[in-house]
Amino acid sequence: MITPKYFIDSLKANQIDFFTGVPDSLLKSICAYMTDHSDLNNHIIAANEGAAVGLAAGYYLATGRIPLVYMQNSGIGNAVNPLMSLTDKEVYNIPLLLLIGWRGEPGLKDEPQHIKQGKITIPLLNSMGISNQVLSKNESELTCQLKEALACIETNHEPFAFVIQKDTFEDYRPQTLENNGFTLSREEAIKIVSSSIPENAIIVSTTGMISRELFEYRESMNQNHEKDFLTVGSMGHASQISLGIALHKSDRMVYCFDGDGATLMHMGSLAIVGSTKPCNYVHVVFNNGAHDSVGGQPTVGLKINISEIAVACGYNLALSVSDLVSLEKALNTISNSIGPILLEIKVKKGARKDLGRPTRTPIQNKDAFMDFLNQ
């Protein structure tokens, strides 16, 4: 395996010291090392992968130096537009080095949402005309690959992608783990909110830990799962899935269980919810200021006022809480209010180490959910 220090030092030796992207579980050691060894202006965790490409292009325009953009392969979709209409050789011809975590690599067991993306990762890069290699797990081979990649980038002024397999990088733990100071756990908050909603209400939960914890809550209570749509992929879109349901099932309360990273990824969705004003819509954002599912890298979720943004976007009510007493009070207020409503719950980082995963397939989840919704 490659040590993060060796990889980053190799980049910096070639004048690559600007990093931006969205964290990925296969890249968490690299992301942590970047955070510990880069200044704030040279490592920016972007709102989404397309924004990261834009940031990198701006850096290149300002400095003439090659930036690095990292992402999970699921994020290629967000990056396609700027890669094709901004950095491509037939548009502005802007060089980038891409680092792409290969979830769902063919032949390896992975979660359902990664299977298709894993199959098409390299063909998709080829279709976009982006030269690519699977990064070696050997440091001496890496040196040769990096030399070849940089020669390609400098000759053609085009993006080049390294595709990263599982266990490519040695484990690296952040030197400074920030505690956000909140005492309420996300899992506890999910249990409290879930137990408070009306009997025929439904929940659409975002990808990652939130869906897993909601599934575990139902299991612990010996409840069925038909009231919950677990959005195992498509990060950032749970709020719009919820909106589509709320607008066409006005007799049901619809709760969106969202995360701060997911909310930030496609924040324009708040404006669409606010403008359509579904009275049966409650948007619950569990905010721990971190990308918890992929290594705990920070978001700016705790540096902005999400509830004020929601009100500015047209939500009828927005509340922010950070403890059990204020949460219970807020839930009582919500039960007597008209949507759209946003409830931000500030929670501590982390999850149980023995947290399980949904045991039903996405299609089984969808079918049961639709049956319940149409009763």
Give the rounded distance of the alpha carbon of 42 from its chain centre.
21
Instruction: Report the percentage of the chain scoring pLDDT > 70.
Output: 99
DSSP 169: B
When pLDDT is cut at 50, 70 and 90, the band that residue 177 belongs to is low
pLDDT of 151 higher than 90: yes
End-to-end CA distance of the chain: 53
Q: Do residues 233 and 239 make contact, with C-beta atoms less than 8 angstroms apart?
A: no
Q: Do residues 103 and 26 make contact, with C-beta atoms less than 8 angstroms apart?
A: yes
Structure tokens that stand for 177 in this block: 């783990």
Structure tokens that stand for 199 in this block: 């009997």
Give the rounded distance of the alpha carbon of 198 from its chain centre.
29
Give the rounded distance of the alpha carbon of 106 from its chain centre.
22
Q: Do residues 216 and 188 make contact, with C-beta atoms less than 8 angstroms apart?
A: no
**How confident is the model over 349-368, as pLDDT tens digits?**
988 888 889 999 999 999 99
| Residue 2, C-beta contacts closer than 8 angstroms, at least 6 positions apart | 135, 137, 138, 139, 142, 168, 169, 170
Compute how many other C-beta atoms are within 10 angstroms of the C-beta atom of residue 324.
13
Q: What domains sit in the chain, N to C, each tagged with a CATH number?
A: 4-164 (3.40.50.970), 186-373 (3.40.50.970)
Ranges of beta strands (E only) in the chain are 19-21, 43-45, 68-72, 97-101, 131-134, 160-164, 202-205, 228-230, 254-259, 281-287, 290-291, 297-298, 317-321, 341-346
What mean pLDDT value characterizes the chain?
95
Q: How far apart are CA 109 and CA 117, in angstroms?
A: 13
**DSSP string spanning 354-370?**
T-----S-HHHHHHHHH
Q: How far apart are CA 320 and CA 32, in angstroms?
A: 29
pLDDT of residue 40: 87
**How confident is the model over 224-251, as pLDDT tens digits?**
999 999 999 999 999 999 999 999 999 9
Q: State the SS3 of 22-41.
A: CCCHHHHHHHHHHHHHCCCC
Of residues 338 and 298, which shows the higher confidence score? Answer: 338
| Residue 203, C-beta contacts closer than 8 angstroms, at least 6 positions apart | 194, 197, 214, 227, 228, 229, 255, 256, 257
When pLDDT is cut at 50, 70 and 90, the band that residue 175 belongs to is confident
Q: How far apart are CA 327 and CA 350, in angstroms?
A: 19
340 upstream amide cis, omega within 30 of 0: yes
Nearest to 89 by CA among 4, 41, 42, 159: 159
What is the rounded average pLDDT of the residues 313-326?
Answer: 98
| Cβ-count burial 247-268 (b if 16+ within 10 Å, e if not) | eeeeebbbbbbbbbbbbbbbbe
**How confident is the model over 276-306, as pLDDT tens digits?**
999 999 999 999 999 988 878 889 999 999 9
| Cβ-count burial 272-293 (b if 16+ within 10 Å, e if not) | ebbeeebebbbbbbbbbbbbbb
pLDDT of 176 higher than 90: no
